[in-house]
Structures are given as structure tokens and as C-alpha cells.
Homo-oligomer: A and B are copies of this chain.
Amino acid sequence: MALHTLNRAPADSSCLQDCLNAMTPGDELILIEDGVYHALPAHIGKLEKDNLKIWVLSEDAHARGISARLAKAAIVTDSAGFVGLCCSQDKVVSWF
């Protein structure tokens, strides 16, 4: 099982698509840097995959002013939580 990180904004749809195609059930996704915009209600629908857990790095969401706008399906975590996710999955796959 893998933790996938995604740091690209929504206009880079191919990065998101490559990420989703690479995911196995049980994998998790953490949105970082410009990737956090995918957690907005307008975009979260494109991330729907059966039972996919979607995390959002709080520092990056806060920086960009979207903390109060995040879709309910997105779970906010901080850097310590990010580290924990890396440990609970077998490997990390970075999409950028």
C-alpha cells in the first residue's frame, strides 16, 4: 500500500489522472503545495475513487486561504500527520 503525494494545481489535470491511475484500493492521497486546491468542492469530485482517503496538508491550505472552503471529504492534517501517513503505508509515491 502506498501514500501518494500530489503538489500540482487543478489545471494540471494529467498529473492528477496519472496519480489516480496508479492507485490501488487501500492507497491514500495527501494533497500538498498547490495540490491542496483539489480539495475545494469544485474539484474534489475528480478525486472520487472507491473509499479513497484524501488528506490535505494544513500549512499549505492555510497559506492559500482555503482552510474554510475545503470539501467535507478532505481530511486536514499537519506535517506531523503527514509523517505518520508515510509510516503507516509501505511506500511514498510523489506526483509533481
Chain B CB within 8 A of A12 CB: yes
Interface size class of A (residues with CB under 8 A): under 10
Alpha-carbon separation in the docked complex, A12 to B11 (Å)? 8
Chain B residues with CB under 8 A of A12 = 12, 14
Chain B residues with CB under 8 A of A11 = 14
- Which residues of chain A (5-29) have a CB below 8 Å from chain B? 11-14
Alpha-carbon separation in the docked complex, A13 to B13 (Å)? 8
Chain B residues with CB under 8 A of A13 = 13-14
Closest CB pairs A-B (n = 3): A11-B14, A13-B13, A12-B14
What are 5 sample pairs from A and B whose C-beta atoms fall under 8 A apart?
A11-B14, A12-B12, A12-B14, A13-B13, A13-B14
Interface of A toward B, CB cutoff 8 Å:
11-14
